[in-house]
Homo-oligomer: A and B are copies of this chain.
Amino acid sequence: MENNFTVDNDAFMKFLDLLATESGRVVARYYQTDVSVESKADATPVTVADRLAEEKLRALIGREFPDHGVIGEEFGETNADAEYVWIVDPIDGTKSFVAGVPLFGTLIGLLRGGEPLVGVIANPILGFTLCGDNRRALCNGRPASCRPCDSLSEAVLSTTSPLSSARHPQGKNFTRLTEQVKLYRGWGDCYGYYLLATGRVDIMLDPAMKPWDILPLIPVIRGAGGVITTWRGDDPVKDPTSAAASGPGVHDAVIGLLNA
C-alpha cells in the first residue's frame, strides 16, 4: 500500500486537469469581450466570467467529492473544516483579463489537513495546464522544472505590480534586488509562477497574496524543484500573505536581501 499516496495524487492531478479545462472554457468565452467589471469590497475587480467559472468548479467538485470543502475567491467557504479542501480562483489576474492581456490564469489547489497536496495553474488562451504535487510538476503532461540559477546577477525577476512591490514595507530592499538581477519584468499574477516552474524566470515576488492566490501555487513550485516562502522567508502555508518564489540556488540570497 506504499503507493497509495501517489495513486491518490495521480487521480487528483487528473481531476485538476478536468477542472482547469472546464473552467477555461467559461473564461475563454469572455476573454477580449467587453465584459463589465465590478469592484468588490476589497477594491479588486470581478467579472461575470469569474463568477460563472467558480460556479462551474464548485458544481464539478461537489458532484465528484461531496464531502470535500471548497474555498473560493467569489463565493467564500463551504465545509472548510473538511479533511480535504479545494481552493479555487478561476481568474487570478483579473486586471490583465479585463485588459485583454493573456497573463492571467486559473488556480486550483487541494489541501489535506491544511497542507497543500496538489495544485494547478492553467490558461485557456495560451494553452497551458501546469500541475504539481510537491514532488513533480507536469506542464501539458510533460515534466516541468525550475532552471538552474546560482547568482542574482544571472537571474530574471518578475513581479505582478511594480508599484505595490516598491511600496511594501520591504520595498526599498525589493528595489535593491531589482537593481542586482539581470532582468526585471512585470509578467504578473500566476503567469509569473508558471514562468518560474517552467524554467523561464528565476524569481517571482508578490508582496500581497490571499490564500486562494498562493496555496494552489505551492505544490506546483515545489514540484518543479523551486522554493516558495513569504517575503520574510517563512512558511507560506502558515502565513499566506506574500510570496517569494525562486529556484533553490538563489532563494537564500533573495530572502537575505529582502530582509537586509
Contact = CB atoms under 8 A, between A and B. Distances in A.
A130 to B, nearest CB: 13
A95 B101 CA distance: 18
Contacts of A198: 100
Contact of A184 (B161, B175, B184): B161
B183 A186 contact: no
A100 B127 CA distance: 13
Contact of A186 (B175, B179, B187, B201): B187
A94 to B, nearest CB: 11
B163 A95 contact: no
Given A162-B162, A163-B179, A178-B163, A99 B186 contact: no
Given A100-B200, A102-B102, A162-B162, A185 B185 contact: no
A244 interface: no
Bin chain A's interface residue count. 20 to 34
Contacts of A195: 99-101
A208 to B, nearest CB: 15
A176 to B, nearest CB: 11
The complex is assembled from copies of this chain, and their number is 2
A41 interface: no
Contacts of A1: none
A203 interface: no
A119 interface: no
Interface string A96-130: 10011111000000000000000000000010000
A163 B186 contact: no
Contacts of A163: 178-179, 184
